[in-house]
Amino acid sequence: MHMMKQTLLPYFKIALGTMIVCTVFPLLLNAQEEPKQSATPNPESLGIIREKSLELLRDIVPSSTSGRDLKNLESVGGSIYWGNLFDPREVVALVNLAPEKPEDDFEGDVVDYEQTWVRHLSFCAWQKDHWVFRQYLDNARNLEFHDRKDKPGHFVQASRKTGRYEGDCLSWYYDPKTMKLVQTNFEDWGPFYLIGNYLCTLRGFERRAVDETVWVYPYNNGRKGSLLAIYYSDIGSGELRNFSITFRDRKTGKYWTYSFSPKEAEQPYLHYDVDAVEGVWNEPDEKAKTRVHHNAEMEVSEKDDSTDQFCFERLTGLSRAVLDHEDGNSAQWKDTLPKLPPLKQIKLKVKGDQEIVRHLQK
């Protein structure tokens, strides 16, 4: 039995590494392909939405046009978020009408499917003594507001479910010239957060119970750059065992994805199988199984809970602070990247593929 284990274990670990790679790469590919399905209503429907939105706003009469912090009102007709949200001299409101039950609604699990009902979101502004309908945004809910010191300075994030495990994340920034909200198109398929000069996207609505993934891009004054890194872990299973890191080799400019799987069944995890795949991350025709796998074994000098973060910093050259979020849905927006204390230097012994040794034993 022991012999069998010894024989099969390497194959199992390669399979696991392949599984992780196969998970991350298709996600990357999908991430670039998913266009937003904007549900822009026809002119007649738009007229009704405008009328309903202004009707919902009837009880809100701002007593002054400045010093209005964000407030939220929820009534049977829907939700309103209002205040000096973007411009300190103008009171504006985002009006999210109550969801409309579709005629062909699924009769079974009502609670779950209510989340997929259409909720029209519009942007209105207070002018002198009345509300003006400025802009229809989309079918969206779950609004969040974020402010930045750089430009653009104000963001609105929202989302919509389109199925049990499907949905879109949406976001807009405020354009002071047009006084309208403009779609950022930053989200590939999940939510994102801005931290310093980095834009980090997270997983969306798909049914994945154990995975946590962060895609890291450079960000500069409203512009999203090319992918810098991907961090993946199975922390959602309750304990971080397997993790993978995608990064760009600074010498060659090529992307690599490294998958780490501990050899030990239980903690402490001191020995890892490292499966590395070289490849251009956005080649849509490339299948992970056709890639060349490079393998190595990594030994960690002592038990350390931050092996994944240590490897992330070493391989990507980025601070682990970019991964700073509480969970997949609770991103932390920050104007500057927090300065974290340096990680304890772990001694790594790496044997195997020379490229892996080069990357890990710097």
Q: What's the CA gap between 93 and 82, in Å, rounded? A: 4
Q: How far is the CB of 78 from another protein (least distance, A)?
A: 11
Q: Which of 93, 89, 87 is nearest to 61 (CA)?
A: 93
Name residue 59's amino acid: D
Interface with another protein (CB under 8 A), residue from 9, 61, 132, 340:
61
Contacts with another protein, 16-55, as mask; x by CB under 8 A: ----------------------------------------
Our finding on whether 326 is near another protein (CB under 8 A) is no
Interface with another protein (CB under 8 A), residue from 16, 19, 50, 62:
62
Interface with another protein (CB under 8 A), residue from 58, 130, 254, 358:
58
Interface with another protein (CB under 8 A), residue from 33, 34, 51, 74:
74
**Three-class secondary structure of residue 136 per DSSP:** strand
Q: What's the CA gap between 213 and 219, in Å, rounded? A: 18
Q: How far is the CB of 39 from another protein (least distance, A)?
A: 23
Interface with another protein (CB under 8 A), residue from 32, 45, 72, 332:
72
Q: What's the CA gap between 362 and 37, in Å, rounded? A: 45
Interface with another protein (CB under 8 A), residue from 63, 221, 226, 345:
63
Closest to another protein by CB, 252 or 332: 332
H or E stretch covering 266? none
Our finding on whether 118 is near another protein (CB under 8 A) is no
Q: At which residue do the structure tokens 């990064």 appear?
A: 247
Q: Which of residues 140-179 bind another protein (CB under 8 A)?
A: 143
Our finding on whether 76 is near another protein (CB under 8 A) is yes
Total residues at interface with another protein (CB under 8 A): 21
Q: Which residues contact 239 (CB under 8 A, 6 or more apart)?
A: 267
Closest to another protein by CB, 8 or 110: 110
| Beta-ladder partners of 157 | 144, 171
Q: At which residue do the structure tokens 């490079």 appear?
A: 294
Closest to another protein by CB, 59 or 299: 59
CB neighbourhood size of 348 (10 A)? 18
Q: Which residues contact 189 (CB under 8 A, 6 or more apart)?
A: 30, 31, 34, 168, 169, 201, 204
List of residues contacting another protein (CB under 8 A): 58-63, 68-76, 79, 82, 107, 110-111, 143
